[in-house]
Amino acid sequence: MAPAILGADVNGLNGFHPPTSKVNLDSTERIPKGHHPSISTTIPFRDITTNDHPAAFEPDTCNGNRHHLSAPANGLSKEPTRDHEQADSGISDCYRPAASATSTSINPTDDAHQTDSDIANGNIFEKTQNRKVDIGPHASIVVREWKLLRNSVTNVTPTYVDTDYLGVAKITAVSKHGMNVKIKDKAAATKRVNESVEFLAQRLADGRSLYGITTGFGGSADLRTLKVMDLQRALIQHQHSGILPIDKKAGSIHLSLGKAPGVNFMPEEWVRGTMLVRCKSLLAAHSAVRFEIIELIISLLNNDMIPLVPLRGSISASGDLQPLSYIAGVLEGNPDCYVWTNDGNLGRIIIPADVALEHLVQKSITFGPKEALAVLNGTAVSTAVAALAMQESHTLAIFSQVLTAMGVEALHGSTGSFNAFFDRVRPHRGQREAAANIRLFLTGSQLAHPEQEDEENRIGLKQDRYALRTSPQWIGPQLEDLALAHEQITVECNSTTDNPLIDIEGGAIHHGGNFQAASITSAMEKTRSCLQMFGRMLFSQCTELINPAMNNGLPPNLAADDPSTSYTMKGADINVAAYMSELAYLANPVSNHVQTAENGNQAINSLALVSARYTHMAIDCLSMICATYLYILCQALDIRAMDRGYLSAIGPAVNEITAHIFETALSDATNATALNQLQSKLLEQVVRQYSLTTSLDTSDRFSAIAEAVQSTLTTALYTDGSLPKQFDALSAIKRWTDQTSTTLHNLFLQHRQAYFTAPDATPYLGAASSRMYSYVRKDLQVPFHKGLADHPTKDNKLKTLGSNISIIHEAMRSGRLYDPVLLCLGAHP
């Protein structure tokens, strides 16, 4: 999706022109159909379907209302501009103030809500059907990027690097899913880039002295030489200073992971993205690089030969010099530069660059004037790593909203916190979107309190705590920041970022600073801050859910059995605090730690790659928080559902006991309604005490409930002056207490065992909770934790809590879990 700020002809701006013929680099396509054994081709979009062509998504703005498109991509309605508003360019197209919401309003309170008393009295209501609604601007970005990614992966669509607008989805398709990279019009691309080479050659022939071609580099630019080929080799040589594993034999690197706290080389997917972005920039023909260099990079990509690149060492000032130098080293066949390749047994091995080129039947590159500088001097590494971080950050933003809606249900929160009135009187764009999303997600909930509920009769807090109640106000600014970060990254993906730059049309060579990757730093600082904000909100919701003093009637640590001997989620509670602490630390900006480098020449430098790396670390932490919280939420929802089934059974049972003991005393015509009133009062107190005694073991809990209700029973009887004089009230109260205690206890054990046998919370859940709960329980086969009995042994083959959480986490990181997340938005026709 091209930001509108670039104008209509984005490709033309970068030197790309519409192709006149289709010439594919068949020689570079050695692995069929773009599938690579080392790269996952699992399609994380099982149910999300679209008939849209990828071109419908790009170039485009957030709402699909610019350039050549006449309608929003993927059929999602955009919000119309009011007559008196001037349409802004760029990100403002995504977020425009509105006097009133134009999207279809979803009001969960239109659906039947059941209180605990309703359940106990047998008042069961049906949920209404979900209604289709428009989604907000940030969600539109996420849905479109995922649909474009799905299209590429399912249809094995290559990326045409010379003509396609390069965005987050295409970088992800190539980097994570191994889609091929092609040149759509080889003749036109070759002609274009070779013109820049010839232009530079003519300037050198005229005796011009040019930076990095006849001069030294950076702070040594006062040096002069006519040995232009040696100068390019010297550039690569002095940048080959990174730290990598010494032993590069098969398996040695992976074995070393057990001895060290981390790795010192980049993940292959980062390097794949880097190679793609660098090719895009070089094909703009502002860099004076021969076409055969670009072609060799593409050949390496498509044959899954990925350079081994140091993880650290770039300050992203004059571009990402050091990491890119290792790609250049592979191109020149340096025997001390290495590539990852397939071992023939679905594994990966490392081989020297010269051997890799021999396998490809490719000649090594001897860099001509400026060519090594053009390969090294750019923001491709920072940009690719940032784009991959952006893809996951977007989905985490949607997931955080889904989890918040689930939290509202699990905590018996109120839907009123998300009323559209708040957005009308405080019309922040992101807040409006977040509130609308959560309202949608809560559609059909029988656990969340409805807006029209009589607050005077609500037991406990009159309003939810901040982690739920102010979530739209908390989430909203993050959605706005993520949309801006998305624009910054996609602009950078389609830019020329080296120096000097060749301007063929203007007949000039320009010296400047497009390599300064501060835009990427800015995008990553915002993104990382957003991740921390999501994490802090979810962490607060999670701790509230586990704490019996705050969770509105759930047991301590969400133990489904006796809380004195079962501490189910206590460890997870501690884990989430650890993840959150690290996430909060990572949210600190990197850009204020700049150090002067390279003879004082690079006195300001962006640290973009460092910031992008830290953003991936933040994604790791937030993903762990989300996976753990989802597991905890499903446990809480199961307990709520189990309680609802139990409460539906105790109403008739308690009423029968009350009638049996007091019916004779309250049977005359004067007291015709007295029995019904007494039954109602007692049942209400039983339900209330049930929620207040969750910290007691089963053996003690129900006698405590019955004894606590005695005061209500005593008051009711002794204030009724019409009781027969011969009626022994004290004896009746004792009988009622004993029978009620025994009945409540026995019914609880029966219903708990029945629920343990076939747990299913979906009848009570809203739209999003039902989908996510079903995915966890059915698709992932992560079960309801029944307590101490679920401790793994050799015989029961059960999993630890952490293993079950890890299953959810793996589904997140593979992308599979985001199918149901996006379906919660209605992201399908």
Q: Which residues are catalytic?
A: 211
Distances (CA, A) of 730 to 654, 657, 713, 736: 18, 16, 10, 10
Question: Contact 439/106 with Cβ under 8 angstroms?
Answer: yes
Q: Which two tokens stand for residue 393?
A: 């950050």
Where do runs of H (alpha helix) occur along 33-185?
Answer: 116-120, 137-154, 168-177
* Cα–Cα distance measured from residue 363 to residue 293, given in angstroms and rounded to the nearest whole number: 10
Question: At how many degrees (to 10) do helices 380-410 and 608-662 cross?
Answer: 10
Q: Report the candidate in 236, 234, 256 with the shortest Cα–Cα distance to residue 245.
A: 256
307 by DSSP, 3-state: which? strand
Return the DSSP state at 82.
Answer: P
* Cα–Cα distance measured from residue 361 to residue 772, given in angstroms and rounded to the nearest whole number: 50
Whose tokens are 């073991």? That residue is 697
* Cα–Cα distance measured from residue 446 to residue 691, given in angstroms and rounded to the nearest whole number: 17
Which phi and psi angles does 348 have, rounded to 5°?
A: -125, 140
Amino acid type, 829: P
* Cα–Cα distance measured from residue 634 to residue 407, given in angstroms and rounded to the nearest whole number: 10
512 by DSSP, 3-state: which? coil
Distances (CA, A) of 768 to 448, 737, 772: 13, 42, 6
Question: Contact 515/319 with Cβ under 8 angstroms?
Answer: yes
* Cα–Cα distance measured from residue 619 to residue 115, given in angstroms and rounded to the nearest whole number: 38
Q: In what order do the strands lie in the sheet with 306-307?
A: 306-307, 338-342, 348-352
Q: Is 512 exposed, middle or buried (0-12, 13-18, 19+ CB in 10 A)?
A: exposed
Whose tokens are 């010494």? That residue is 246
According to DSSP, the β-strands at 181-182 and 159-160 are parallel
* Cα–Cα distance measured from residue 161 to residue 603, given in angstroms and rounded to the nearest whole number: 34
In sequence order, the 6+-apart residues with CB closer than 8 A to the CB of 803 are none
* Cα–Cα distance measured from residue 299 to residue 232, given in angstroms and rounded to the nearest whole number: 22
CB crowding 622-632: b at 16 or more within 10 Å, else e? bbbbbbbbbbb
Per DSSP, what are the bridge partners of residue 160?
A: 182
Q: Report the candidate in 819, 48, 821 with the shortest Cα–Cα distance to residue 440.
A: 821
